Amino acid sequence: MLDQATATATEPAGEAGTQAGREGGTQAAALAGGQALARAGVVGVTIVWADNNGIPRSRTVPAAQYDAAIERGVGITPLFAVFDSHDGITFDHSPLGTPSGDIRLMPVPDRLVRLAGQPGFAWVPGRQVAADGSAWPYDQRGVLERQVARAAALGLDFLAGYEMEFHLSRAGDDDGDEVRPVYDGPSYGPAKLLAVDAFAAQLLHDLDRNGVPIGQLHGEYGPGQFEFNISPADPVTAADRQLLARQTVHAAARAHGLRASFAPLVNPGQVGNGWHLHTSLSQAGANLLSGGDGPAGMTAEGGAYLAGLLRDLPAVVAVTAPSLSSLQRLRPGYWSGAYTCWGVENREASLRLVPSTPLLGAGHANVELKPSDAAANPYLALAAVIAAGLGGIEDGLTPPDPVQDNPGSWSEERRAEHGVHRLPATVTEQLGALLGNPRVRAALGEELTDAFRAVRVSDAARARDRDAADVLRSYRWLY
Ligand code: GLU
Ligand code: MG
């Protein structure tokens, strides 16, 4: 679904005070500081990061305070590292075992965007640093930057892109056992977009103005389900844009009396919302997933990348699909990737290799990770993927034969013969996989890994005496 061949990340330019400025979407170059923001009519800058539940968190400063925020950041509690999915704070991670302390949230100024859907506000991703300005081990964006730097030291460049599936309902139709979909007609039909015509037009406009390039938008398979795919970019940009895309969707939905749910599974028994994560790696400009003589045209390094991902998949998925809603989404037969296997263009495989073709060009090849969703912190998700893949390259792994069937239709014996296993299905199994995996753990760092563990345990404890539908409901509007 992603076109790696058209991978150029566009940075729309705009100038404060021009029509584009008034409409929002003005980019950083034109809005370098607080005064320029204020002149352009921006009243507040929202600094956003994602926590260990994949939930965006934020602080908003008045435009006049933005320059000070660039210099010194704004104070936030270190305990955001141990917030669970329902805003409970767990003290089970001992280094963050008291309510004392403060860290600084620093905007990343060159990523500032005036929001097209909220023209009074600008949006900027944040980095978390210790009170004295030094590195803070729980800063998720920093975790990803380290993996990107590690890849660069090996001469490897990554591209990443997200598919974003979501569910739309009319505001007010959302508090029963099931969320009533905004439209329940044929999947993929143009009438599905017609049902949300004004929203869809605004979304396309605002994504463009906000600098989130997409390949396409469509009415997806599930009732009320829609999808767009963000064009590939370097990993940190891809994660920043995934966060910005959420804000853009929520604003456009609200403007049209709609409500968007990004939850991995919105209604019991229906298809889930996957945020499939596509990655490719290149060396000296050549995509290593094509042009070789390995399976599906992969080079030896490209195959090793895929094999590394496959080897560490249970630990990776503990990061890329970590919530109780995620676990309910991962079922055979739903194209969400429930088993550890890879396949060429196999939509039931958790790792789908999308090969290059003469039509699409050598740059097109990429690996799609299906067990990935909104509950993943996008920076940690990409860091886990890159770390697992680089591990495969360092160890010179080769991938097993691809699986071209639905492994869910195989017998347990046949799966075992092919080394195909069900991905962890409980929090305990996921944490076992994560904590037992040296590569993904090292990428996250010991402090963050343990905080992440504590948060997952807290989520599980909260769900212990509740039925599955009740648990699902509690995740609907978090992301
Ligand atoms: N909705 C499916 C999921 O949960 C994905 C369908 C598709 O392949 O687009 O991941
Ligand atoms: Mg889809």
Q: 16 in a domain, yes or no?
A: no
Q: Grade residue 358 by pLDDT with cuts at 50, 70 and 90.
A: very high
Concatenating the DSSP letter of every residue in 296-310 gives: GG--HHHHHHHHHHH
For residue 376, tell me if it sits in a domain: yes
Dump pLDDT digits (tens) for 309-325: 999 999 999 999 999 99
Domain end, chosen from 87, 116, 136, is at: 136
Q: Whose CA is nearest to atom 7 of ligand 1?
A: 335
Whose alpha carbon is nearest atom 8 of ligand 1?
Answer: 335
Kindly state whether residues 223 and 346 are assigned to the same domain. Answer: yes
Cα–Cα distance, 416 to 298 (Å, whole number): 26
The rounded Å distance from CA 347 to ligand 2 centre is 10
Q: Are residues 77 and 94 in the same domain?
A: yes
The per-residue pLDDT for 30 is 57
- pLDDT computed for residue 426 by the predictor: 98
**219 CB near ligand 1 (under 6 Å):** no
Nearest listed ligand to the Cα of residue 263: 1
Report the 10 Å Cβ neighbour count for 171. Answer: 11
- Asked if residue 407 belongs to a domain, the reply is yes
Give me the amino acid identity at 175: D
Please indicate, yes or no, whether residues 109 and 222 belong to a single structural domain of this protein: no
Q: Are residues 77 and 162 in the same domain?
A: no
Nearest to 473 by CA among 175, 173, 165: 175
Summarize pLDDT for 458-474 with one digit per residue, the tens. 999 999 999 999 999 99
Contact status, residue 239 vs residue 126, Cβ threshold 8 Å: no
Q: Does residue 24 carry a pLDDT above 90?
A: no
Which residue's CA is the nearest one to ligand 1's atom 6? Answer: 335
Atom of ligand 1 nearest to the CA of 227: 9
Residue 19 has pLDDT above 50, yes or no: no
Q: Residue 271 above 90 pLDDT?
A: yes
Determine, yes or no, domain membership for 18: no
68 pLDDT band, cuts 50/70/90, is: very high
Q: What is the mean pLDDT of the chain?
A: 93
Q: What is the pLDDT of residue 438?
A: 98
Q: Which domain holds residue 85?
A: 23-136
22 lines ligand 1 (CB under 6 A): no
Do 105 and 198 fall into the same domain? no
- The answer as to whether 1 is a domain residue is no
For the whole model, what pTM was predicted? 0.94
pLDDT band at 33 (very low <50, low <70, confident <90, very high): confident
Is residue 225's pLDDT more than 90?
yes
* 129 and 153 within one domain: no
Ligand 1 centroid distance, CA of 368 (Å): 11
Same domain, 120 and 155: no
Does residue 3 form part of some domain? no
| Ligand 1 nearest atom to the CA of residue 272, by list position | 4
Query: What percentage of the chain exceeds 90 in pLDDT?
Result: 90
Q: What is the pLDDT, as a whole number, of residue 362?
A: 86
Q: Which of 164, 335, 348 to mutate to test the pocket of ligand 1 (most atoms within 8 A of CB)?
A: 335
* Statement: residue 2 has pLDDT above 70: no
**What digits encode the pLDDT tens for the residues 120-150?**
999 999 999 999 999 999 999 999 999 999 9
Same domain, 203 and 324: yes
Is the shortest distance between the CB of 218 and ligand 1 below 6 Å? no
Among the listed ranges 8-22, 32-46, 232-246, which one has the minimum average pLDDT value?
A: 8-22
User: What pLDDT score was predicted for residue 251?
Assistant: 98
Structurally, the chain folds into a number of domains equal to: 2
- Indicate which atom in ligand 1 lies nearest the CA of residue 329: 4
Query: 220 CA distance to ligand 1 centroid (A)?
Result: 9
| Cβ of 370 below 6 Å from ligand 1 | yes
Coil, strand or helix: which one is 471?
helix
433 and 335 part of one domain: yes
In a domain, 389, yes or no: yes
Q: What CATH number is associated with residue 117?
A: 3.10.20.70
Percent of the chain at pLDDT > 70 equals 93
Burial-class residue 401 by CB neighbours within 10 Å (0-12, 13-18, 19+). Answer: exposed
Cβ–Cβ < 8 Å for 288, 392: no
Q: What is the mean pLDDT of residues 431-448?
A: 98
Is pLDDT of 108 > 50? yes
For residue 1, what pLDDT is reported? 36
Final residue in a domain of this structure, among 99, 118, 136: 136
CA 220 to ligand 1: nearest atom? 9
**Ligand 2: distance of its center to the CA of 163 in Å?**
7
- Cα of 332 from ligand 1 centre, angstroms: 11
Q: What is the mean pLDDT of residues 80-94?
A: 98
> Are 464 and 395 members of one domain?
yes
> Are 128 and 231 part of one and the same domain?
no
Q: Would you say the CB of residue 57 lies under 6 angstroms from ligand 1?
A: no
* Average pLDDT rounded to a whole number, residues 172-193: 88
Q: Which helix (H) or strand (E) holds 259?
A: strand 258-261
Final residue belonging to a domain, choices 111, 136, 161 = 136
- Given a cut of 90, is residue 25 above it in pLDDT? no
Whole-number Cα distances in Å, 191 to 47, 185, 186, 188, 215: 37, 8, 8, 8, 20
- Residue 30 included in any domain: yes
Taking residues 238-251, report their average pLDDT.
98
Q: Which of 228, 325, 331, 334 to mutate to test the pocket of ligand 1 (most atoms within 8 A of CB)?
A: 334
Residue 15: the pLDDT is 27
Burial (0-12, 13-18, 19+ Cβ within 10 Å), 153: exposed
Tell me what pLDDT residue 172 has. Answer: 81
pLDDT band, very low/low/confident/very high, at 178 (cuts 50, 70, 90)? confident
Residues 416 and 372 in one domain: yes
For residue 78, name the pLDDT band (cuts at 50, 70, 90): very high
CATH number of the domain residue 297 falls in: 3.30.590.10
Does pLDDT of 334 surpass 90?
yes
- What's the gap in Å between 330 CA and the centre of ligand 2? 14
Asked if the model's pLDDT at residue 18 lies above 70, the reply is no
Say how far residue 275 (Cα) sits from the centre of its chain. Answer: 6
